[in-house]
């Protein structure tokens, strides 16, 4: 058959669009970040305005930098590199455009709804359900466009960058859908179907792996394309690519519970989270090694080329963050660092250093190629690099110091360990204020660097002619014998050994004594067989993998099974265990309608972003906040509110600790009660009337989700709200404060006063239900 | 294991994989030994840790461990609880070191409700002769330590410990005199700080 030569024009227009969006949303996201950082030092910057208050715009910052900034950057990089790696134009211009405009519309919707207080109350999953549906639809558009392009590829084998893109698309879809399962109570509000510990586990399975599969794997794919291109050097090791890709995608999923160490999460899950986080160190560093060692023979170029400077620093920061991650997952280290600024520092090594610098390197590399004009100023790009690096180092050093200082102060005891050395939380807060200010300065420098990039971008493309890449290809008939059937995919020695090893190890970990022993024997037999067969069969296994790389669908399925295993083994047992067996010795009393309304206000204002509701099984936590939290005490919480950061004290047992008037004055002006506090004021809670009309619909959904509410008519609900609110207003009046019972603050006080008011449960007799 | 030279061979001498992707080539270098050791080490640690805590149950669970630690603290507290009487508290209230230490604790912990002048706002006035829960030094000490939760007075014993509470009580008593009248007050009506 005669080969026919044709010319393909890549769809680079869509890459340019995503690139411009990256720059703009990067500016927005970082600017909001700077504002919330400054608000922690200067509470006045909340401006006593609901939609500028910390708890509402912190989600705006996180969503903007993750999904808008890194999201757009990822789509630009994926679309640019994939077309070239498969020698085919993106399958559909329509889908590409739909993807771009749909994603921007989602971002705009998020930027409007979050400051207005429409939230699901789960970190990085705050967007309300109609937007969730849009996200899933647009992600499917992305997936179809990507896999359709793969199906039309003229390059038979899948390059390592594509492996990472495939893992990203499949896994993000799975995580996002499961963590966003909710039942709407209205157009703008829903309750997640999970509650308490289940919700916590699902949330951090999602939260941890959003970092893994949104901020890490796609960027590793981008690294594998752009770094060797820019360095003009071969990738260091294909073999390392194979080993670190599969170990990374498999191990990552298991590590989610390290966000819940020392909490009420069952111990076996904590131990899984910790040990798998340690196992994640080597796979992560595999990526760093392949990045840095690819620069062998190109190091001299770093002196002149800003692109390589950014890439080399980004990969180094990736290495730092992925060493720090396992370190923080060690339970005793976590006892000090969790809930403190150390975690904020850790996250920003990854986001500012790895994501932000990879984005900058990629943009500077792409600009001349997409607009056919040299970069406006290399000197400015170099300045961006140095200003950004100094910014990151200041930011991170400040957060490490701050986190460790506050952690040590909060945990310090005196008088033979019987009392806290710093019983007043504010002492610890006011000690770290200089470090928090340093963070603002570091972040400001980093943002200044990004402004330089935006200016350089603008000057480069102004008046320039956009240009689309082209390539001449020969239409070839597919080579015979390259198809790998599904049977040959799954019933191959590497797959079978991997499945058996994981299966046996799981039996050993979680089975009863007999099953466990069998699992141990099986796992050891697997290991021995593998090692024994490797010398003779290694070549054949290698050949099988080379063949797998020619077959996109089997490869995608294997990736999916690798990532799904960890989630299933962790989540299913906590689902099938009866909720009633999961309570330990205390159980929550369902909220009254007014308390439920107050809880929704607590969620709306983002209180959980500064206040945890989880007293850990640690002595300093118990001394400061009371007896440790039991599983049963959040069993009816849709969503759970355990929190992940303590900018203020824990609230798990704050109910009844202070009189109503204390809370009123404190919400009105925190500094009137707690001098030195950095909490925003909430004057609108005292001015706005509570919207009780939505409560019947909300209680109906709660009942549907298994919260034991009796049959209540709408009128009964309103009467109960009325009675309880009047009681609180009366008590406030007796204390000299005149607040109408309809005001929102009354509901919030009702909620705060019920926190920790659980009831003891007699030891469980395993009677039949 | 045969030691293999780990030095990176000079670029250009390593064999390249035959295929290129958009001009990108790949070496096929063997995995660095130290990297493999970290991977295997972490796996071995996982197996050992899991065996220790989850299979052999040699380590305590989180809850059991913390209960044990709290029991030790409880014992320590019981052993070191000062036997206080009115006379010694009055004596402390005239000791400037005690009073100064008490003032620091009072201002950071108690003043948000009782004000720095002790004249009361959310919580009652502490300088008049009216007392709700008893005005004798040991009664004041008990009120601070155990709290009066229904009236919004937190129980400070577990947070501050006996020493700080003793000092704070001494500070309050420094505004009073032994033998002054003690009148019973039914309740305190909170008001804004003046």
DSSP string, A157-224: SPPHHHHHHHHHHHHHHHHHHHHT-EEESSSS-EEES--HHHHHHHHHHHHHHHHHHHTTHHHHHHHH
Average pLDDT in the A355-362 region? 98
pLDDT at residue B69, rounded to an integer: 92
pLDDT at A480 over 90: no
Cβ–Cβ under 8 Å, residues B167 and B103: no
**A99 vs A112: CA distance, rounded Å:** 20
Bridge pairing between strands B130-131 and A413-414: unpaired
User: Residue B148's beta-bridge partner residues?
Assistant: B153
Q: Do A155 and B16 touch (CB under 8 A)?
A: no
Q: Calculate mean pLDDT across residues A333-352.
A: 97
Give the pLDDT of residue B74: 84
CB contact A430 to B (< 8 Å): no
Using a pLDDT cut of 90, give the percent of chain A over it. Answer: 88
More confident residue, A4 or A124: A124
Structure confidence at residue A580 (pLDDT): 57
Q: Which of B11, B50, B152 sits opposite A296 (nearest CB)?
A: B11
Please, is A237 exposed, middle or buried when counting C-beta atoms within 10 Å of its C-beta (0-12, 13-18, 19+)?
A: buried
On the question of pLDDT at B3 being above 50, the answer is no
Q: Which of A579, A636, A592, A593 is nearest to A613 (CA)?
A: A636
pLDDT surpasses 70 at A577: no
- Percentage with pLDDT > 70 across chain A: 97
Asked if B17's CB is within 8 angstroms of A419's CB, the reply is no
pLDDT of residue A3: 63
Residue position matching structure tokens 């790949």: B26
Average pLDDT of the segment spanning A431-442: 97
pLDDT at A125: 96
Does B134 touch chain A if contact means CB atoms closer than 8 Å? no
Neighbours of B61 (CB within 10 A): 15
**Can you give the pLDDT at residue A418?**
86
Which DSSP string do the residues of B134-177 spell out, in sequence order? Answer: --SHHHHHHHHHH-BGGGTB---HHHHHHHHHHHHHHHHHTTS-
Best of B29, B33, B63, B165 to disrupt the A interface (most A CBs within 10 Å) is: B29
Burial of A575 (0-12, 13-18, 19+ CB in 10 A): exposed
Task: Check: CB of residue A118 under 8 Å from CB of residue A182.
Answer: no
The owner of tokens 């009354």 is: A746
Count CA within 13 A, CB hemisphere, residue A351: 29
The pLDDT of residue A215 is above 50: yes
**Quick one: tokens of A520?**
């141990």
Average pLDDT, chain A: 94
pLDDT band at A764 (very low <50, low <70, confident <90, very high): low
Q: How far is A267 from chain B (nearest CA, A)?
A: 7
Question: Taking a C-beta distance cutoff of 8 angstroms, is the pair A597, A747 a contact?
Answer: yes
Q: Place B12 in a pLDDT band, splitting at 50, 70 and 90.
A: low
- By the CB < 8 Å criterion, does B161 face chain A? yes
Mean pLDDT value across residues B167-175: 92
Q: Position of tokens 């080539």?
A: B25
* Statement: residue A719 has pLDDT above 60: yes
Q: Confirm whether pTM is higher than 0.95.
A: no
CB A627 within 8 A of CB A615: yes
> Per-residue pLDDT for A55 more than 80?
yes
**H-helix or E-strand containing A290?**
helix A281-294
Binning chain A into helix, strand and coil, the percentages to the nearest 5 are: 70, 5, 25
Contact (CB, 8 A) for A28 and A86: no
Q: Which residues of A touch B75 (CB under 8 A)?
A: none
Show the 3-state SS of A375-427. CCCHHHHHHHHHHHHHHHHHHHHHHHHHHHHHHHHHHCEECCCCEECCCCHHH
Q: What are phi and psi of A113, to 5 degrees?
A: -75, -35
Domains and CATH numbers, chain A: 295-474 (1.20.210.10), 493-582 (no CATH), 587-760 (1.10.760.10)
Name the residue among A85, A237, A271 with its Cβ closest to that of B29.
A237
Fold of B82-184: Cytochrome Bc1 Complex; Chain D, domain 2 (1.10.760)
Q: Which residues of A touch B76 (CB under 8 A)?
A: 416-418
Q: Are strands A190-192 and A182-184 parallel, antiparallel or unpaired?
A: antiparallel
Partner-chain residue, chosen from A271, A427, A665, that has the shortest CB–CB distance to B49: A271
Mean predicted confidence (pLDDT) in A171-188: 96
Side-chain-side CA neighbours of A107 within 13 Å: the count stands at: 26
Domain regions of chain B by residue span: 31-80, 82-184
User: What's the gap in Å between the CA of B175 and the closest CA on chain A?
Assistant: 23
Which of A328-337, A486-495, B72-81, B107-116 is predicted least confidently?
Answer: B72-81
* pLDDT above 60: residue A256: yes
Q: Which residue of A has its CA nearest to B72?
A: A418
Pairing mode of beta strands A470-475, A4-9: antiparallel
Dihedral (Cα; A366, A372, A376, A378), 10-degree rounding: 50
Q: Which two tokens stand for residue A594?
A: 């007014």
Give yes or no for A427 touching B (CB within 8 A). yes
According to DSSP, the β-strands at B183-184 and B130-131 are parallel
pLDDT tens-digit readout, A721-745: 999 999 999 999 998 899 999 999 9
Average pLDDT of every residue of chain B = 86
Instruction: Record the tokens describing residue A555, joined without a space.
Output: 């490869």
Which of A147, A45, A145 has the alpha carbon at shortest distance from A92?
A145
Average pLDDT of A283-307? 95
Q: Is A587 helix (H, G, I), strand (E, B) or coil?
A: strand
| pLDDT at position B92 over 90 | no
Record: contact A423-B109, CB cut-off 8 A: yes
Does the pLDDT at position A462 exceed 60?
yes
* Confidence at residue A579, expressed as pLDDT on a 0 to 100 scale: 59
Statement: residue A769 has pLDDT above 50: no
Q: What is the pLDDT of residue B8?
A: 52
Q: What is the pLDDT of residue A478?
A: 66
**A651-683 pLDDT per residue, tens:** 999 999 999 999 999 999 999 999 999 999 999
Looking at residues A100-113, what average pLDDT do you find?
98
Residue with token string 């990067």: A26
In this model, does residue A590 exceed pLDDT 60?
yes
Residue A766 has pLDDT above 50, yes or no: no
pLDDT score of B2 = 37
pLDDT of residue A456: 98
Q: Three-class SS of residue A6?
A: strand
Q: What is the pLDDT of residues A602-640, one digit of tens each?
A: 999 999 999 999 999 999 999 999 999 999 999 999 999
Q: The dihedral of CA A270, A272, A274, A280: what is its sign? A: negative
Higher pLDDT, A5 or A18: A18
Contacts of A562 (CB under 8 A, 6+ apart): A246, A249, A250
């Amino acid at each position: 058959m005669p080969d026919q030569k044709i010319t393909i024009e890549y769809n680079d227009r869509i890459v340019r669009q995503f690139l411009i969006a990256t720059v703009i949303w990067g500016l927005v996201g970082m600017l909001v970040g700077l504002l919330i950082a400054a608000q922690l030092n200067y509470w006045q910057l909340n401006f006593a305005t609901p939609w500028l208050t910390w708890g509402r715009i912190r989600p705006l910052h996180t969503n903007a930098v993750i999904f808008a900034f890194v999201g757009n950057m990822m789509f630009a990089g994926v679309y640019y590199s994939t077309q070239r790696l498969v020698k085919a134009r993106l399958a559909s211009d329509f889908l590409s455009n739909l993807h771009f405009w749909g994603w921007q519309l989602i971002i705009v919707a998020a930027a409007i709804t979050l400051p207005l207080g429409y939230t699901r109350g789960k970190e990085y999953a705050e967007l309300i359900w109609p937007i969730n549906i849009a996200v899933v639809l647009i992600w499917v558009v992305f997936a179809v466009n990507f896999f359709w392009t793969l199906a039309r590829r003229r390059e038979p084998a899948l390059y390592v960058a594509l492996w990472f893109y495939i893992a990203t698309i499949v896994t993000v879809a799975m995580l996002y859908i499961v963590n966003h399962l909710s039942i709407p109570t209205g157009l703008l509000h829903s309750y997640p179907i999970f509650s308490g510990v289940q919700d916590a586990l699902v949330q951090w399975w999602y939260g941890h792996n959003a970092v893994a599969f949104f901020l890490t794997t796609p960027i590793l794919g981008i690294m594998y394309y752009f770094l060797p291109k820019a360095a003009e050097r071969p990738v260091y090791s294909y073999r390392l690519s194979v080993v670190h890709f599969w170990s990374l995608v498999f191990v990552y999923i298991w590590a989610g519970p390290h966000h819940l160490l020392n909490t009420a999460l069952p111990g076996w899950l904590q131990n899984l989270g910790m040990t798998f986080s340690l196992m994640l160190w080597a796979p992560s560093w595999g990526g760093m090694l392949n990045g840095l060692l690819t620069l062998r023979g190109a190091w001299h170029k770093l002196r002149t080329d800003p692109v390589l400077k950014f890439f080399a620093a980004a990969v180094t920061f990736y290495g730092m963050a992925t060493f720090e991650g396992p370190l923080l997952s060690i339970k005793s280290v976590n006892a000090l660092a969790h809930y403190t600024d150390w975690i904020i520092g850790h996250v920003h090594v990854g986001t500012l250093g790895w994501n932000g610098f990879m984005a900058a390197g990629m943009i500077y590399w792409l600009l001349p190629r997409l607009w056919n004009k040299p970069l406006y100023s290399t000197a400015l790009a170099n300045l961006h690099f140095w200003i950004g690096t100094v910014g990151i180092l200041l930011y991170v050093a400040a957060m490490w110091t701050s986190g460790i200082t506050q952690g040590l102060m909060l945990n310090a005891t005196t008088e033979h360990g019987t009392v806290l050395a710093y019983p007043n939380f504010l002492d610890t807060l006011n000690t770290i204020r200089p470090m928090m200010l340093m963070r603002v300065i570091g972040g400001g420098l980093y943002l200044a660097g990004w402004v330089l990039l935006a200016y350089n971008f603008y000057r480069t493309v102004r008046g320039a002619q956009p240009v689309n890449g082209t390539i001449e290809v020969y239409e070839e008939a597919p080579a015979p014998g390259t198809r790998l059937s599904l049977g040959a995919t799954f019933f191959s020695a590497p797959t079978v050994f991997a499945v058996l090893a994981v299966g046996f190890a799981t039996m050993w970990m979680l089975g009863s004594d007999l099953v466990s022993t069998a699992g141990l024997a099986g796992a050891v037999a697997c290991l021995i067989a593998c090692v024994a067969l490797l010398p003779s069969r290694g070549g054949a296994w290698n050949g099988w993998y080379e063949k797998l790389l020619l077959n996109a669908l089997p490869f995608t399925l294997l990736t999916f099974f690798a990532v799904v295993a960890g989630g299933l083994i962790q989540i299913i047992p906590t689902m099938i265990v009866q909720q009633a067996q999961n309570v330990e010795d205390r159980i929550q009393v369902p909220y009254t309608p007014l308390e439920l309304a107050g809880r929704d206000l607590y969620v709306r204002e983002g209180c959980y972003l500064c206040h945890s509701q989880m007293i850990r099984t640690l002595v300093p936590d118990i001394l400061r906040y009371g007896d440790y939290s039991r599983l049963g005490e959040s069993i009816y919480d849709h969503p759970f509110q355990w929190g992940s950061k303590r900018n203020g004290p824990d609230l798990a047992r704050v109910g009844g600790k202070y009189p109503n008037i204390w809370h009123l004055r404190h919400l009105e002006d925190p500094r009137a009660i707690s001098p030195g506090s950095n909490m925003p004021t909430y004057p609108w809670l005292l001015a706005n009337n509570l919207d009780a009309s939505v409560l019947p619909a909300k209680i109906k959904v709660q009942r549907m989700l298994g919260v034991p509410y009796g049959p209540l008519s709408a009128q009964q609900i309103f009467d109960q709200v009325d009675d309880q609110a009047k009681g609180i207003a009366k008590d406030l009046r007796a204390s000299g404060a005149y607040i109408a019972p309809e005001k929102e603050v009354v509901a919030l006080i009702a909620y705060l006063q019920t926190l920790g008011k659980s009831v003891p449960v007699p030891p469980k007799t395993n009677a039949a239900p | 294991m045969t030691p293999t030279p780990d030095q990176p061979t000079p670029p250009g001498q390593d064999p390249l994989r035959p295929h290129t992707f958009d001009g990108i080539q790949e070496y096929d270098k063997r995995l660095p030994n130290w990297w493999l050791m970290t991977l295997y080490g972490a796996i071995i640690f996982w197996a050992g840790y899991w065996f220790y805590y989850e299979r052999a149950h040699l380590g305590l669970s989180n809850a059991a461990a913390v209960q044990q630690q709290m029991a030790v603290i409880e014992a320590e507290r019981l052993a070191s609880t000062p036997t206080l009487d009115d006379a010694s508290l009055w004596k402390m209230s005239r000791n400037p070191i005690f009073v100064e230490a008490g003032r620091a604790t009072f201002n950071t912990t108690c003043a948000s409700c009782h004000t720095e002048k002790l004249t009361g706002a959310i919580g009652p006035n502490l300088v008049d002769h009216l007392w709700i829960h008893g005005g004798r030094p040991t009664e004041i000490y008990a009120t601070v330590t155990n709290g009066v939760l229904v009236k919004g007075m937190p129980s400070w014993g577990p947070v501050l410990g006996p020493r700080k509470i003793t000092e704070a009580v001494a500070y309050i008593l420094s505004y009073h005199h032994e033998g002054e009248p003690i009148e019973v007050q039914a309740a305190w009506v909170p008001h804004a700080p003046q």
